[in-house]
Structure 1
Amino acid sequence: MMLNDIAMIAIVGAMTGVTTVLFGFGGGFVVVPFVYQLFLRQPAIANNALHIAVATSSAVMIVNAGWATFQHQRRGNVTADILFPLTLFIGLGAVMGSLLAGQLNEGTIRLLFILYMLVTIVDCLVSRRFLKGCEARPLSMSTTTVGGVAMGAVAALLGVGGSVMTVPLLRRHGFSMKHCISHANPLSLPVALCATITYTFDGWGKIPDSGFIGYISLTTLVTLVVAGGIGITISQRYFPKIPDWWHARLYVLLLIAVLIAMLW
Protein backbone atom coordinates (compact mmCIF):
# COMPACT_ATOMS: atom_id res chain seq x y z
CA MET A 1 0.00 0.00 0.00
CA MET A 2 1.40 3.38 -1.07
CA LEU A 3 2.10 6.25 1.34
CA ASN A 4 -0.51 8.47 -0.33
CA ASP A 5 -3.10 5.68 0.15
CA ILE A 6 -2.31 5.59 3.88
CA ALA A 7 -2.63 9.39 4.05
CA MET A 8 -6.03 9.22 2.38
CA ILE A 9 -7.13 6.45 4.75
CA ALA A 10 -6.10 8.65 7.70
CA ILE A 11 -8.24 11.52 6.39
CA VAL A 12 -11.22 9.20 5.96
CA GLY A 13 -10.56 7.80 9.44
CA ALA A 14 -10.77 11.27 10.96
CA MET A 15 -14.04 11.78 9.09
CA THR A 16 -15.45 8.59 10.61
CA GLY A 17 -14.62 9.93 14.06
CA VAL A 18 -16.52 13.12 13.30
CA THR A 19 -19.54 11.30 11.87
CA THR A 20 -19.57 8.91 14.85
CA VAL A 21 -20.04 11.83 17.23
CA LEU A 22 -22.34 13.98 15.09
CA PHE A 23 -24.48 11.37 13.35
CA GLY A 24 -23.96 8.03 15.09
CA PHE A 25 -22.16 6.50 12.09
CA GLY A 26 -19.45 4.20 13.45
CA GLY A 27 -17.74 4.35 10.08
CA GLY A 28 -19.71 2.20 7.67
CA PHE A 29 -21.21 4.79 5.36
CA VAL A 30 -17.91 6.63 5.05
CA VAL A 31 -15.51 3.68 5.12
CA VAL A 32 -17.26 1.20 2.79
CA PRO A 33 -17.31 3.32 -0.41
CA PHE A 34 -13.75 4.59 0.16
CA VAL A 35 -12.11 1.25 1.01
CA TYR A 36 -14.03 -0.42 -1.81
CA GLN A 37 -12.54 2.01 -4.34
CA LEU A 38 -9.09 1.66 -2.80
CA PHE A 39 -8.89 -2.13 -3.13
CA LEU A 40 -10.75 -2.20 -6.43
CA ARG A 41 -7.57 -0.73 -7.95
CA GLN A 42 -5.48 -3.72 -6.81
CA PRO A 43 -5.91 -6.52 -9.39
CA ALA A 44 -4.92 -9.37 -7.05
CA ILE A 45 -7.76 -8.68 -4.62
CA ALA A 46 -10.21 -6.62 -6.71
CA ASN A 47 -12.73 -9.48 -6.76
CA ASN A 48 -12.98 -9.28 -2.97
CA ALA A 49 -12.83 -5.47 -2.69
CA LEU A 50 -16.34 -5.00 -1.32
CA HIS A 51 -16.04 -7.89 1.13
CA ILE A 52 -12.79 -6.31 2.41
CA ALA A 53 -14.49 -2.90 2.68
CA VAL A 54 -17.46 -4.27 4.63
CA ALA A 55 -15.30 -6.43 6.92
CA THR A 56 -12.82 -3.64 7.70
CA SER A 57 -15.68 -1.19 8.24
CA SER A 58 -17.25 -3.58 10.77
CA ALA A 59 -14.01 -3.85 12.73
CA VAL A 60 -13.60 -0.05 12.76
CA MET A 61 -17.12 0.34 14.12
CA ILE A 62 -16.33 -1.79 17.17
CA VAL A 63 -13.77 0.77 18.31
CA ASN A 64 -15.51 3.98 17.20
CA ALA A 65 -19.00 3.02 18.34
CA GLY A 66 -17.65 1.49 21.55
CA TRP A 67 -15.78 4.64 22.53
CA ALA A 68 -18.70 6.91 21.61
CA THR A 69 -21.05 4.69 23.64
CA PHE A 70 -18.79 5.01 26.66
CA GLN A 71 -18.77 8.80 26.35
CA HIS A 72 -22.56 9.01 25.95
CA GLN A 73 -23.05 6.71 28.94
CA ARG A 74 -20.89 8.94 31.11
CA ARG A 75 -23.05 11.91 30.16
CA GLY A 76 -26.30 10.08 30.91
CA ASN A 77 -27.55 10.14 27.31
CA VAL A 78 -28.16 6.37 27.06
CA THR A 79 -31.13 4.58 28.64
CA ALA A 80 -31.57 0.83 29.08
CA ASP A 81 -35.28 0.98 28.19
CA ILE A 82 -34.42 1.82 24.57
CA LEU A 83 -31.43 -0.51 24.22
CA PHE A 84 -33.02 -3.69 25.58
CA PRO A 85 -34.30 -5.97 24.24
CA LEU A 86 -33.78 -4.25 20.84
CA THR A 87 -30.02 -4.86 21.05
CA LEU A 88 -30.53 -8.62 21.38
CA PHE A 89 -32.70 -8.87 18.27
CA ILE A 90 -30.33 -6.66 16.28
CA GLY A 91 -27.50 -9.01 17.27
CA LEU A 92 -29.50 -12.02 16.08
CA GLY A 93 -30.15 -10.36 12.74
CA ALA A 94 -26.48 -9.42 12.45
CA VAL A 95 -25.44 -13.08 12.61
CA MET A 96 -27.91 -13.92 9.84
CA GLY A 97 -26.80 -11.01 7.65
CA SER A 98 -23.10 -11.77 8.06
CA LEU A 99 -23.59 -15.39 7.03
CA LEU A 100 -25.67 -14.35 4.02
CA ALA A 101 -23.01 -11.88 2.85
CA GLY A 102 -20.53 -14.71 2.36
CA GLN A 103 -22.90 -16.30 -0.17
CA LEU A 104 -23.36 -13.18 -2.33
CA ASN A 105 -21.05 -11.81 -5.01
CA GLU A 106 -19.55 -8.32 -5.10
CA GLY A 107 -22.00 -6.90 -7.63
CA THR A 108 -25.04 -8.03 -5.67
CA ILE A 109 -23.81 -6.49 -2.42
CA ARG A 110 -22.96 -3.20 -4.15
CA LEU A 111 -26.41 -3.06 -5.75
CA LEU A 112 -28.09 -3.80 -2.42
CA PHE A 113 -26.02 -1.06 -0.77
CA ILE A 114 -27.12 1.51 -3.38
CA LEU A 115 -30.79 0.48 -3.26
CA TYR A 116 -30.78 0.55 0.50
CA MET A 117 -29.32 4.06 0.53
CA LEU A 118 -31.97 5.27 -1.92
CA VAL A 119 -34.82 3.84 0.15
CA THR A 120 -33.41 5.34 3.36
CA ILE A 121 -32.96 8.81 1.86
CA VAL A 122 -36.46 8.86 0.36
CA ASP A 123 -37.92 7.65 3.66
CA CYS A 124 -36.18 10.43 5.60
CA LEU A 125 -37.28 13.11 3.13
CA VAL A 126 -40.88 11.93 2.91
CA SER A 127 -41.39 11.35 6.63
CA ARG A 128 -42.50 14.58 8.29
CA ARG A 129 -41.71 12.99 11.65
CA PHE A 130 -38.01 12.69 10.75
CA LEU A 131 -37.44 16.27 9.58
CA LYS A 132 -39.75 18.03 12.04
CA GLY A 133 -39.93 15.63 14.97
CA CYS A 134 -43.03 14.46 16.83
CA GLU A 135 -44.27 13.48 20.27
CA ALA A 136 -42.23 10.68 21.87
CA ARG A 137 -43.79 7.21 22.09
CA PRO A 138 -42.37 3.77 23.03
CA LEU A 139 -41.30 1.15 20.48
CA SER A 140 -43.85 -1.56 19.81
CA MET A 141 -43.08 -5.24 20.37
CA SER A 142 -43.14 -5.98 16.62
CA THR A 143 -40.72 -3.12 15.95
CA THR A 144 -38.37 -4.38 18.63
CA THR A 145 -38.43 -8.04 17.57
CA VAL A 146 -39.08 -8.32 13.81
CA GLY A 147 -37.70 -4.85 13.12
CA GLY A 148 -34.63 -5.49 15.24
CA VAL A 149 -33.77 -8.71 13.39
CA ALA A 150 -34.29 -7.01 10.01
CA MET A 151 -32.11 -4.05 10.98
CA GLY A 152 -29.31 -6.29 12.22
CA ALA A 153 -29.40 -8.46 9.10
CA VAL A 154 -29.31 -5.55 6.64
CA ALA A 155 -26.65 -3.68 8.61
CA ALA A 156 -24.28 -6.65 8.83
CA LEU A 157 -24.86 -7.61 5.20
CA LEU A 158 -23.91 -4.13 3.98
CA GLY A 159 -21.42 -3.19 6.69
CA VAL A 160 -23.25 -0.04 7.74
CA GLY A 161 -23.56 -0.60 11.48
CA GLY A 162 -27.30 -0.08 11.74
CA SER A 163 -27.23 3.62 12.63
CA VAL A 164 -28.89 4.55 9.35
CA MET A 165 -31.90 2.50 10.44
CA THR A 166 -31.93 3.12 14.18
CA VAL A 167 -31.67 6.91 13.86
CA PRO A 168 -34.73 7.23 11.53
CA LEU A 169 -36.59 4.64 13.63
CA LEU A 170 -36.09 6.50 16.91
CA ARG A 171 -36.67 9.84 15.20
CA ARG A 172 -40.07 8.69 13.95
CA HIS A 173 -40.88 7.68 17.52
CA GLY A 174 -40.36 11.24 18.73
CA PHE A 175 -36.78 11.24 20.00
CA SER A 176 -34.51 14.25 19.49
CA MET A 177 -31.54 13.84 17.13
CA LYS A 178 -29.25 14.03 20.16
CA HIS A 179 -30.86 10.96 21.75
CA CYS A 180 -31.23 9.15 18.42
CA ILE A 181 -27.49 9.43 17.84
CA SER A 182 -26.48 8.62 21.41
CA HIS A 183 -28.40 5.32 21.13
CA ALA A 184 -27.31 4.59 17.55
CA ASN A 185 -23.74 3.88 18.68
CA PRO A 186 -24.51 1.14 21.26
CA LEU A 187 -27.12 -0.34 18.91
CA SER A 188 -24.37 -0.62 16.26
CA LEU A 189 -22.07 -2.65 18.51
CA PRO A 190 -23.78 -6.07 18.17
CA VAL A 191 -23.77 -5.64 14.39
CA ALA A 192 -20.09 -4.71 14.34
CA LEU A 193 -19.07 -7.58 16.64
CA CYS A 194 -21.05 -10.28 14.81
CA ALA A 195 -20.02 -9.07 11.37
CA THR A 196 -16.32 -8.82 12.30
CA ILE A 197 -16.20 -12.36 13.70
CA THR A 198 -18.08 -13.80 10.72
CA TYR A 199 -15.99 -12.02 8.08
CA THR A 200 -12.78 -13.05 9.85
CA PHE A 201 -13.58 -16.75 9.68
CA ASP A 202 -15.39 -16.68 6.34
CA GLY A 203 -12.51 -14.89 4.60
CA TRP A 204 -9.72 -16.90 6.24
CA GLY A 205 -7.10 -17.75 3.59
CA LYS A 206 -9.11 -16.22 0.72
CA ILE A 207 -6.97 -13.07 0.31
CA PRO A 208 -3.63 -13.81 -1.42
CA ASP A 209 -1.86 -10.72 -0.03
CA SER A 210 -0.33 -10.48 3.46
CA GLY A 211 -1.66 -8.12 6.13
CA PHE A 212 -5.15 -9.56 6.27
CA ILE A 213 -7.07 -11.43 8.95
CA GLY A 214 -9.88 -13.00 6.99
CA TYR A 215 -11.28 -10.16 4.90
CA ILE A 216 -10.02 -7.47 7.30
CA SER A 217 -7.13 -5.28 6.12
CA LEU A 218 -4.95 -4.69 9.19
CA THR A 219 -3.09 -1.64 7.86
CA THR A 220 -6.34 0.01 6.86
CA LEU A 221 -7.96 -0.91 10.17
CA VAL A 222 -5.19 0.50 12.37
CA THR A 223 -4.94 3.72 10.35
CA LEU A 224 -8.70 4.26 10.44
CA VAL A 225 -8.93 3.58 14.18
CA VAL A 226 -6.08 5.93 15.13
CA ALA A 227 -7.32 8.73 12.88
CA GLY A 228 -10.89 8.08 14.00
CA GLY A 229 -9.87 8.57 17.62
CA ILE A 230 -8.45 11.96 16.71
CA GLY A 231 -11.66 12.87 14.89
CA ILE A 232 -13.80 11.83 17.87
CA THR A 233 -11.69 13.88 20.30
CA ILE A 234 -11.80 17.00 18.12
CA SER A 235 -15.56 16.69 17.61
CA GLN A 236 -16.36 16.26 21.28
CA ARG A 237 -14.16 19.13 22.43
CA TYR A 238 -14.49 21.78 19.77
CA PHE A 239 -17.63 21.27 17.67
CA PRO A 240 -20.64 23.40 18.72
CA LYS A 241 -24.02 21.84 19.44
CA ILE A 242 -26.22 21.60 16.35
CA PRO A 243 -29.90 22.61 16.62
CA ASP A 244 -32.24 19.65 16.20
CA TRP A 245 -33.83 21.10 13.03
CA TRP A 246 -30.44 21.38 11.30
CA HIS A 247 -29.18 18.10 12.72
CA ALA A 248 -31.91 16.11 10.97
CA ARG A 249 -31.27 17.81 7.63
CA LEU A 250 -27.48 17.43 7.81
CA TYR A 251 -28.02 13.74 8.50
CA VAL A 252 -29.93 13.35 5.21
CA LEU A 253 -27.36 15.40 3.29
CA LEU A 254 -24.59 13.09 4.52
CA LEU A 255 -26.55 10.05 3.32
CA ILE A 256 -26.92 11.66 -0.12
CA ALA A 257 -23.18 12.40 -0.27
CA VAL A 258 -22.31 8.78 0.52
CA LEU A 259 -24.75 7.49 -2.10
CA ILE A 260 -23.14 9.73 -4.74
CA ALA A 261 -19.69 8.45 -3.73
CA MET A 262 -20.81 4.82 -4.06
CA LEU A 263 -22.46 5.42 -7.44
CA TRP A 264 -19.32 7.16 -8.67
Structure 2
Amino acid sequence: MNELIIALAGLITGMTTVLFGFGGGFVVVPFVYQLFLRQPSLADHALHCAVATSTAVMVFNAGWATYKHYRAGNLSVSLLLPLCSFIGGGAVIGSLLAGRLHEETVRVLFILYMLITISDCLFSRRFLKESAQRELSPLTRKVGGVVIGVVAALLGVGGSVMTVPLLRRHGYSMKACVAMANALSLPVALCATLIYALSDWGTIPGGGFVGDIHLPTLAILVVTGWCGMVISQRYLPKIADLWHARIYVLLLIVVLIAMIAV
Protein backbone atom coordinates (compact mmCIF):
# COMPACT_ATOMS: atom_id res chain seq x y z
CA MET A 1 0.00 0.00 0.00
CA ASN A 2 2.83 2.39 0.87
CA GLU A 3 4.49 1.67 -2.48
CA LEU A 4 1.23 2.48 -4.29
CA ILE A 5 0.93 5.82 -2.49
CA ILE A 6 4.55 6.67 -3.27
CA ALA A 7 3.99 5.72 -6.92
CA LEU A 8 0.95 8.01 -7.08
CA ALA A 9 2.99 10.84 -5.57
CA GLY A 10 5.72 10.22 -8.14
CA LEU A 11 3.25 10.28 -11.02
CA ILE A 12 1.74 13.56 -9.83
CA THR A 13 5.21 14.98 -9.26
CA GLY A 14 6.24 14.24 -12.84
CA MET A 15 3.12 15.91 -14.18
CA THR A 16 3.51 19.01 -12.00
CA THR A 17 7.21 19.25 -12.92
CA VAL A 18 6.30 19.71 -16.57
CA LEU A 19 3.19 21.84 -16.04
CA PHE A 20 4.22 24.04 -13.10
CA GLY A 21 7.94 23.59 -12.46
CA PHE A 22 7.38 21.74 -9.17
CA GLY A 23 10.46 19.51 -9.12
CA GLY A 24 8.99 17.32 -6.40
CA GLY A 25 8.89 19.03 -3.04
CA PHE A 26 5.33 20.27 -2.86
CA VAL A 27 3.97 16.84 -3.73
CA VAL A 28 6.65 14.49 -2.43
CA VAL A 29 7.34 16.10 0.96
CA PRO A 30 3.76 15.90 2.34
CA PHE A 31 3.21 12.34 1.02
CA VAL A 32 6.53 10.87 2.13
CA TYR A 33 6.47 12.75 5.42
CA GLN A 34 3.12 11.16 6.27
CA LEU A 35 4.41 7.68 5.45
CA PHE A 36 7.63 8.02 7.47
CA LEU A 37 5.74 9.62 10.35
CA ARG A 38 3.67 6.46 10.74
CA GLN A 39 6.79 4.31 11.21
CA PRO A 40 7.86 4.54 14.87
CA SER A 41 11.54 3.99 14.10
CA LEU A 42 11.57 6.87 11.58
CA ALA A 43 9.12 9.30 13.19
CA ASP A 44 11.85 11.49 14.70
CA HIS A 45 13.53 11.81 11.30
CA ALA A 46 10.41 11.84 9.11
CA LEU A 47 10.53 15.38 7.74
CA HIS A 48 14.29 15.51 7.26
CA CYS A 49 14.16 12.23 5.31
CA ALA A 50 11.18 13.41 3.26
CA VAL A 51 12.95 16.66 2.37
CA ALA A 52 16.21 14.87 1.51
CA THR A 53 14.48 12.26 -0.67
CA SER A 54 12.42 14.97 -2.37
CA THR A 55 15.60 16.89 -3.16
CA ALA A 56 17.17 13.81 -4.75
CA VAL A 57 14.06 13.30 -6.89
CA MET A 58 14.51 16.83 -8.24
CA VAL A 59 17.88 15.92 -9.74
CA PHE A 60 16.12 13.52 -12.11
CA ASN A 61 12.84 15.35 -12.69
CA ALA A 62 14.25 18.84 -13.08
CA GLY A 63 17.15 17.50 -15.15
CA TRP A 64 14.86 15.76 -17.65
CA ALA A 65 12.44 18.71 -17.84
CA THR A 66 15.34 21.15 -18.33
CA TYR A 67 16.68 19.05 -21.20
CA LYS A 68 13.28 19.04 -22.90
CA HIS A 69 12.83 22.79 -22.45
CA TYR A 70 16.34 23.39 -23.78
CA ARG A 71 15.58 21.33 -26.88
CA ALA A 72 12.35 23.33 -27.35
CA GLY A 73 14.21 26.66 -27.06
CA ASN A 74 12.32 27.79 -23.95
CA LEU A 75 15.34 28.73 -21.83
CA SER A 76 17.08 32.11 -21.55
CA VAL A 77 20.76 31.38 -20.91
CA SER A 78 21.50 35.05 -20.15
CA LEU A 79 18.96 34.94 -17.32
CA LEU A 80 19.87 31.50 -15.97
CA LEU A 81 23.66 31.65 -15.73
CA PRO A 82 23.96 34.60 -13.29
CA LEU A 83 21.32 33.07 -10.99
CA CYS A 84 22.66 29.51 -10.93
CA SER A 85 25.83 30.19 -8.93
CA PHE A 86 24.01 32.22 -6.27
CA ILE A 87 21.23 29.65 -5.98
CA GLY A 88 23.77 26.82 -5.70
CA GLY A 89 25.61 28.64 -2.90
CA GLY A 90 22.35 29.25 -1.07
CA ALA A 91 21.44 25.56 -1.45
CA VAL A 92 24.59 24.50 0.38
CA ILE A 93 23.74 26.85 3.26
CA GLY A 94 20.13 25.64 3.41
CA SER A 95 21.14 21.97 3.39
CA LEU A 96 23.55 22.48 6.28
CA LEU A 97 20.93 24.39 8.26
CA ALA A 98 18.30 21.67 7.77
CA GLY A 99 20.31 19.11 9.75
CA ARG A 100 20.52 21.50 12.70
CA LEU A 101 16.84 22.39 12.96
CA HIS A 102 14.17 20.42 14.81
CA GLU A 103 11.57 18.55 12.74
CA GLU A 104 8.70 20.75 13.93
CA THR A 105 10.71 23.89 13.18
CA VAL A 106 11.17 22.79 9.55
CA ARG A 107 7.45 21.98 9.29
CA VAL A 108 6.43 25.39 10.63
CA LEU A 109 8.88 27.11 8.27
CA PHE A 110 7.38 25.14 5.38
CA ILE A 111 3.86 26.30 6.30
CA LEU A 112 4.90 29.94 6.81
CA TYR A 113 6.74 29.91 3.51
CA MET A 114 3.65 28.59 1.75
CA LEU A 115 1.42 31.25 3.34
CA ILE A 116 3.75 34.05 2.25
CA THR A 117 4.06 32.67 -1.28
CA ILE A 118 0.31 32.18 -1.76
CA SER A 119 -0.44 35.67 -0.42
CA ASP A 120 2.17 37.14 -2.74
CA CYS A 121 0.66 35.35 -5.75
CA LEU A 122 -2.91 36.35 -4.91
CA PHE A 123 -2.26 39.99 -4.12
CA SER A 124 0.46 40.77 -6.67
CA ARG A 125 -1.12 42.50 -9.64
CA ARG A 126 1.54 41.11 -11.91
CA PHE A 127 1.08 37.41 -11.10
CA LEU A 128 -2.46 36.65 -12.28
CA LYS A 129 -2.07 38.63 -15.47
CA GLU A 130 0.70 39.23 -17.98
CA SER A 131 2.68 42.48 -17.78
CA ALA A 132 5.57 44.10 -19.63
CA GLN A 133 8.77 42.08 -19.34
CA ARG A 134 11.55 43.62 -17.22
CA GLU A 135 15.14 42.55 -16.54
CA LEU A 136 16.11 41.37 -13.06
CA SER A 137 18.38 43.84 -11.30
CA PRO A 138 21.90 42.71 -10.22
CA LEU A 139 20.82 42.95 -6.56
CA THR A 140 17.77 40.77 -7.20
CA ARG A 141 19.91 38.16 -8.92
CA LYS A 142 22.48 38.04 -6.12
CA VAL A 143 20.34 38.35 -2.99
CA GLY A 144 17.29 36.68 -4.53
CA GLY A 145 19.39 33.79 -5.84
CA VAL A 146 20.95 33.05 -2.44
CA VAL A 147 17.58 33.28 -0.66
CA ILE A 148 15.94 30.97 -3.21
CA GLY A 149 18.74 28.43 -2.75
CA VAL A 150 18.59 28.52 1.05
CA VAL A 151 14.81 28.15 1.26
CA ALA A 152 14.60 25.53 -1.50
CA ALA A 153 17.24 23.25 0.03
CA LEU A 154 16.05 23.78 3.60
CA LEU A 155 12.47 22.82 2.75
CA GLY A 156 13.07 20.47 -0.17
CA VAL A 157 10.89 22.47 -2.55
CA GLY A 158 13.26 23.07 -5.44
CA GLY A 159 12.83 26.82 -5.60
CA SER A 160 10.11 26.84 -8.27
CA VAL A 161 7.67 28.40 -5.86
CA MET A 162 10.03 31.36 -5.52
CA THR A 163 11.40 31.60 -9.05
CA VAL A 164 7.99 31.39 -10.74
CA PRO A 165 6.47 34.32 -8.79
CA LEU A 166 9.73 36.30 -9.13
CA LEU A 167 9.88 35.90 -12.91
CA ARG A 168 6.13 36.34 -13.25
CA ARG A 169 6.37 39.74 -11.52
CA HIS A 170 9.02 40.67 -14.08
CA GLY A 171 6.64 40.02 -16.97
CA TYR A 172 7.54 36.49 -18.07
CA SER A 173 4.82 34.13 -19.32
CA MET A 174 3.93 31.10 -17.18
CA LYS A 175 5.46 28.85 -19.84
CA ALA A 176 8.79 30.69 -19.59
CA CYS A 177 8.58 30.80 -15.77
CA VAL A 178 8.07 27.03 -15.57
CA ALA A 179 10.92 26.32 -18.01
CA MET A 180 13.29 28.56 -16.06
CA ALA A 181 12.13 27.18 -12.68
CA ASN A 182 13.07 23.66 -13.70
CA ALA A 183 16.53 24.74 -14.84
CA LEU A 184 17.11 26.77 -11.67
CA SER A 185 16.06 23.79 -9.54
CA LEU A 186 19.07 21.83 -10.79
CA PRO A 187 21.82 23.65 -8.83
CA VAL A 188 19.63 23.39 -5.72
CA ALA A 189 19.02 19.69 -6.25
CA LEU A 190 22.63 18.79 -7.01
CA CYS A 191 24.21 20.75 -4.15
CA ALA A 192 21.58 19.80 -1.57
CA THR A 193 21.49 16.11 -2.53
CA LEU A 194 25.24 15.82 -2.00
CA ILE A 195 24.94 17.39 1.45
CA TYR A 196 21.96 15.23 2.45
CA ALA A 197 23.72 12.07 1.23
CA LEU A 198 26.64 12.82 3.56
CA SER A 199 24.47 13.88 6.52
CA ASP A 200 23.47 11.53 9.37
CA TRP A 201 25.46 8.71 7.76
CA GLY A 202 24.50 5.44 9.47
CA THR A 203 22.32 7.10 12.10
CA ILE A 204 18.88 6.63 10.49
CA PRO A 205 17.23 3.39 11.75
CA GLY A 206 16.46 0.74 9.16
CA GLY A 207 18.04 -0.03 5.81
CA GLY A 208 17.93 1.62 2.41
CA PHE A 209 19.28 5.02 3.47
CA VAL A 210 22.23 6.95 2.06
CA GLY A 211 22.55 9.72 4.59
CA ASP A 212 19.00 11.08 4.89
CA ILE A 213 17.90 9.83 1.45
CA HIS A 214 15.69 6.72 1.31
CA LEU A 215 16.75 4.86 -1.83
CA PRO A 216 13.72 2.54 -2.29
CA THR A 217 11.37 5.52 -2.11
CA LEU A 218 13.64 7.50 -4.43
CA ALA A 219 13.62 4.71 -7.03
CA ILE A 220 9.81 4.49 -7.12
CA LEU A 221 9.46 8.28 -7.33
CA VAL A 222 11.97 8.58 -10.18
CA VAL A 223 10.35 5.86 -12.34
CA THR A 224 6.77 7.01 -11.80
CA GLY A 225 7.83 10.66 -12.07
CA TRP A 226 9.25 9.99 -15.53
CA CYS A 227 5.93 8.38 -16.49
CA GLY A 228 4.10 11.49 -15.26
CA MET A 229 6.34 13.77 -17.32
CA VAL A 230 5.74 11.71 -20.47
CA ILE A 231 1.97 11.84 -19.91
CA SER A 232 2.05 15.61 -19.44
CA GLN A 233 4.15 16.27 -22.52
CA ARG A 234 2.26 13.97 -24.88
CA TYR A 235 -1.35 13.90 -23.79
CA LEU A 236 -2.34 16.90 -21.66
CA PRO A 237 -3.63 19.98 -23.51
CA LYS A 238 -1.84 23.32 -23.33
CA ILE A 239 -3.13 25.69 -20.65
CA ALA A 240 -3.88 29.36 -21.33
CA ASP A 241 -1.53 31.70 -19.45
CA LEU A 242 -4.19 33.09 -17.07
CA TRP A 243 -5.51 29.65 -16.10
CA HIS A 244 -1.95 28.38 -15.81
CA ALA A 245 -1.31 31.02 -13.14
CA ARG A 246 -4.61 30.36 -11.35
CA ILE A 247 -4.10 26.58 -11.18
CA TYR A 248 -0.56 27.15 -9.93
CA VAL A 249 -1.87 29.09 -6.93
CA LEU A 250 -4.63 26.53 -6.33
CA LEU A 251 -2.08 23.72 -6.12
CA LEU A 252 -0.07 25.69 -3.58
CA ILE A 253 -3.20 26.06 -1.43
CA VAL A 254 -3.88 22.30 -1.61
CA VAL A 255 -0.34 21.48 -0.43
CA LEU A 256 -0.60 24.05 2.37
CA ILE A 257 -3.80 22.44 3.64
CA ALA A 258 -2.13 19.01 3.54
CA MET A 259 0.77 20.20 5.71
CA ILE A 260 -1.44 22.05 8.20
CA ALA A 261 -3.67 18.98 8.58
CA VAL A 262 -0.75 16.81 9.77
State the TM-score, normalized to the length of structure 2: 0.99
Quick check: 1:211 aligned with 2:225?
Answer: no
Partner deviation per Cα, 1:184-232 (whole Å, 9 max, x = no partner): 0010011111111111111211112011111111110000000000000
Quick check: 1:200 aligned with 2:197?
Answer: yes
Partner amino acid, structure 2, of 1:116: Y
Task: Supply the distance in 1 between the matched residues of 2:200 and 2:180 (Cα, whole angstroms).
Answer: 31
Q: Aligned ranges for residues 67-216 of structure 1 at < 5 Å?
A: 67-216=64-213
How many aligned positions are there? 261
Task: Supply the distance in 2 between the matched residues of 1:208 and 1:55 (Cα, whole angstroms).
Answer: 15
Partner amino acid, structure 2, of 1:112: L
User: Which residue in the other structure is 1:51 paired with?
Assistant: 48
How far does residue 237 in structure 1 lie from its aligned partner after superposition? Answer: 0.2
Task: Supply the distance in 2 between the matched residues of 1:12 and 1:100 (Cα, whole angstroms).
Answer: 26
From 17, 30, 34, the equivalent of 1:33 is 30
Task: Supply the distance in 2 between the matched residues of 1:175 and 1:208 (Cα, whole angstroms).
Answer: 46
Task: Supply the distance in 2 between the matched residues of 1:218 and 1:99 (Cα, whole angstroms).
Answer: 21
Task: Supply the distance in 1 between the matched residues of 2:76 and 2:143 (Cα, whole angstroms).
Answer: 21
Partner deviation per Cα, 1:93-127 (whole Å, 9 max, x = no partner): 00111111111010100000000000000000000
Task: Supply the distance in 2 between the matched residues of 1:17 and 1:175 (Cα, whole angstroms).
Answer: 23
User: Which residue in the other structure is 1:20 paired with?
Assistant: 17
Task: Supply the distance in 1 between the matched residues of 2:167 and 2:26 (Cα, whole angstroms).
Answer: 19
Task: Supply the distance in 1 between the matched residues of 2:186 and 2:201 (Cα, whole angstroms).
Answer: 23
Quick check: 1:65 aligned with 2:65?
Answer: no
User: Which residue in the other structure is 1:221 paired with?
Assistant: 218
SS of equivalent residue, structure 1 residue 132: coil
Task: Supply the distance in 1 between the matched residues of 2:200 and 2:136 (Cα, whole angstroms).
Answer: 37
Partner amino acid, structure 2, of 1:175: Y
Partner deviation per Cα, 1:66-87 (whole Å, 9 max, x = no partner): 0000000000001101101111
Task: Supply the distance in 2 between the matched residues of 1:202 and 1:218 (Cα, whole angstroms).
Answer: 15
Identity among equivalent pairs (%):
67
Task: Supply the distance in 1 between the matched residues of 2:203 and 2:231 (Cα, whole angstroms).
Answer: 38
Partner amino acid, structure 2, of 1:166: T
Task: Supply the distance in 2 between the matched residues of 1:247 and 1:89 (Cα, whole angstroms).
Answer: 28
Task: Supply the distance in 1 between the matched residues of 2:78 and 2:259 (Cα, whole angstroms).
Answer: 36
Task: Supply the distance in 2 between the matched residues of 1:52 and 1:261 (Cα, whole angstroms).
Answer: 18
How far does residue 35 in structure 1 lie from its aligned partner after superposition? Answer: 0.5
Partner amino acid, structure 2, of 1:14: L
Measured on the aligned residues, the alpha-carbon RMSD in Å equals 0.6
Task: Supply the distance in 2 between the matched residues of 1:109 and 1:11 (Cα, whole angstroms).
Answer: 25
User: Which residue in the other structure is 1:242 paired with?
Assistant: 239
Task: Supply the distance in 1 between the matched residues of 2:19 and 2:145 (Cα, whole angstroms).
Answer: 23
- Uncovered stretches (5+) of structure 2, i.e. residues with no partner: none
